[in-house]
Amino acid sequence: MNFSQGVSEATHKKKWLNAKQYVELLQEAGRNVDDLESVEDELEYLSQGTDWRNGEVNTDWQDIALRTGYTTDADFSVSGGDDKTKYFFSGAYNNTTGIVDSNDLERITARSNVSHKVSDRFTAGMNIGFSRSVINRVQDDNSFSTPLQSVAQAPISQARLEDGTPNPNTEYVNYLLAKDNTSWETIMRRVTGKVFGELKIVNGLKFNSDFSYDLLTQTEDYWQGKDAPFMATDGAVYASSVNTENYVFSNYFTYDKTFAEKHVLNLVAGMEFNKYNRRYQDVNSIYFPNDDFHTIDGGAEVNEGHGSETDYAFVSQFGRLNYSFAGKYLFKASVRRDGSSRFGKNERFGVFPAFSAGWVMSQESFLKDNTVLTYLKLKGSWGKLGNAEIGNFASRQLYRPNPYNLKSGLTFDQAGNNDLTWEKSTQTDFGVEVGFLNKITFEADYYQKDTDGLLFEVPLPLSSGAAFVNKNIGKIRSNGFEFTLNTKNIETQDFRWNTSFNLTTNESKVKSLPNNNTDIISDYTINRTGENISSFYLVEYAGVDPANGDALFVKNTANADGSIDKSTTNDYSEAKRIIAGNPFPTLMAGLTNTMTYKGFDFTFTFQGEWGASIYNSAGLYQSTAADYFDNQTLDQLNRWQNPGDITNVPQARFGGSNGTQESTRYLDKSDFVRLRNLTIGYSLPKETVNKAGMSSLRVYLTAVNLLTFTGYEGTDPEARRDDITKGSPRVGEDFYSAPPAKTFAMGVNINF
């Protein structure tokens, strides 16, 4: 049994202008474009009659949006049985108040596993699990009525009026209007189960049959009162339901045999069928008599409804062989034949073999008795993998309903591709494992992964009638090293200290693209042959002209002699985009130390990443030296003001677009080292807890994300999205991202 209670805070908050700084910067930006009057008119509106010139109102919107979070966790488990029947029961409860205002989660889970030996040859069993989660939140992500984007509001605007109601006259919609006048509740109910049987046919040969089932039912209820943001009617209610079913039916034979006490053989062969179905429905009603009605039937008009259904199927045949001789020569081989309904009718199946071998040299006679080199193993592997992560009907030519004036109709929606098939990856690994003095183990591996036929949405000409077609295009190579070092630093009767260190390098490059390696370019990334996947592709920011405060950009255009023109310009259109960074880390590391002294235990883990960059796409609004009325980050006070000023922040020009274009100005290195976890515990002496009817009792204190060391100026150096299997990838982006939570928890663990 375990119980813990935790408290959370944001690990990092950005620094924003206060009311005095905001007014000073906006006025200066207005004067610099001879538009002070209209700027001050807007300041009058934003302040709503308060004295904005003397800082009467100074709202810290970030402080309102981020709060102290709380977490309660409790769980228990019971297991037991006899020679014939074994059982396991568990239950857990979690209640989390998020650090972002109006975001909460409550979850309860339970699980039961039972197996029974019906006879000497047949064993049957069943596992079943249940969970229920309730999530409350405010509005959708990426909407200006969310707490996280309220930092764009002016600090001279009141969050609430004197009567306590939210201020409706802010630059953007005040999220407190949504907090007070809406509710969005999501309830997820999930049931997972497995029924299995095992039949021993002859000595060493058995047959297994498993049937697994996963049912997820999700309902959402979104109520908007008459004073909710953007409300054009007297209230609205939206209700949706999603049901997803997934079942897997597996049947396989297993043969285990040891020959002459040295040859160990394991063979597996079988098949698997996977079926998935998802059904979605929603309905919306409007015109409510008052805000006391929160369900669909309270509205005078049901004005909108939608429904859809989707499914897919996978079928697989597989075989696996494991062989070892004398515990020192190891060999594995496997093959899968997988078919997916997602692919074209001509190419639905893929065959994926894999092989691996190992040699435990320390078992050989010339090393077996070595007391220094206590373990040595050489290993290697090769295998093919398949990826089918694409839409369920990605290969089909699709049409969608398009009714008009109460007449039904169809519109061409997606081009078909009968040859669409698996994205295939071939990976090769080589490695060595070494042990010294039974205290130090070291493992080094090199891997190379080549991916061919990436699943991409390829744009089509508008004349085709469809925006894109799904195709297999291009090749990517990823390679790197993985190192792991484990040490037993001290081992005495009372004190033990172990350390584990791992380091991984990775480089992923585009090897080829279709149409003679034509670049695939998105808003600020590019896939180009020979470069990193989804490299940042931006105009290079060159700082500020000290003579006049203009933002400068590096031209990066080609000269007549073929060299690159590195001169600067204040005309953004004269500058050419360049590859400016990598959204994925090239070096990752982790360090864990575990120490025990008598009843005390102490563990901490550091994790770090290097080589990646993050593009702050919100920087175009929040770090622009008052180009907009959005509140600005504190660094914008370092703007250029007088000839000769040396700074990276251009002159404040309201609406002047002085350096606000997409460029490396908003690209930042995201290298970091984070103290991911720290735990201190104490276990009471056994004789003490045994008297109380317990086998053990441990109390502990845990801290998560306690420290972060980084030069990244955003809220989270790990704030990045990874959507590279789809067209127009947007990776390495920070857009009003939430900071991770720094959590302290105290708990107790009891065993009976």
Quick one: which H or E segment has residue 42? helix 36-47
Mean pLDDT score across all residues of the chain: 94
What pTM was computed for the model?
0.91
pLDDT category of residue 730 using cuts at 50, 70 and 90: low
What DSSP state is assigned to residue 22?
H
Is the per-residue pLDDT at 348 higher than 70? yes
**What was the pLDDT predicted at 514?**
83
Do 180 and 165 meet the contact criterion of CB atoms below 8 Å apart?
yes
- Parallel, antiparallel, or unpaired for β 182-202 and 122-137? antiparallel
Give the model confidence (pLDDT) of 311-330 as tens digits.
999 999 999 999 999 999 99
Mean pLDDT, range 687-700, rounded to an integer: 92
Is the per-residue pLDDT at 127 higher than 60? yes
Name the residue with tokens 């043969």: 255
**What was the pLDDT predicted at 720?**
67
Domain boundaries, the chain: 75-533+581-615+658-751
**What was the pLDDT predicted at 356?**
98
Give the model confidence (pLDDT) of 482-500 as tens digits.
999 999 999 999 999 999 9
**What was the pLDDT predicted at 723?**
40
Give the model confidence (pLDDT) of 610-663 as tens digits.
999 999 999 999 999 999 999 999 999 999 999 999 999 999 999 999 999 999
What DSSP state is assigned to residue 469?
E
Q: How far apart are CA 424 and CA 455, in angstroms?
A: 10
Q: How far apart are CA 387 and CA 350, in angstroms?
A: 10
Q: Which residue has the higher pLDDT, 366 or 727?
A: 366
Mean pLDDT, range 548-570, rounded to an integer: 96
Backbone angles phi, psi at 6, to 5 degrees: -130, 160
Is the per-residue pLDDT at 676 higher than 90? yes
**What was the pLDDT predicted at 607?**
98
Fold of 75-533+581-615+658-751: Maltoporin; Chain A (2.40.170)
**What was the pLDDT predicted at 651?**
98
Structure tokens at 107: 């979850």
Give the model confidence (pLDDT) of 254-289 as tens digits.
999 999 999 999 999 999 999 999 999 999 999 999
Give the model confidence (pLDDT) of 69-95 as tens digits.
999 999 999 999 999 999 999 999 999
Give the model confidence (pLDDT) of 409-439 as tens digits.
888 888 999 999 999 999 999 999 999 999 9
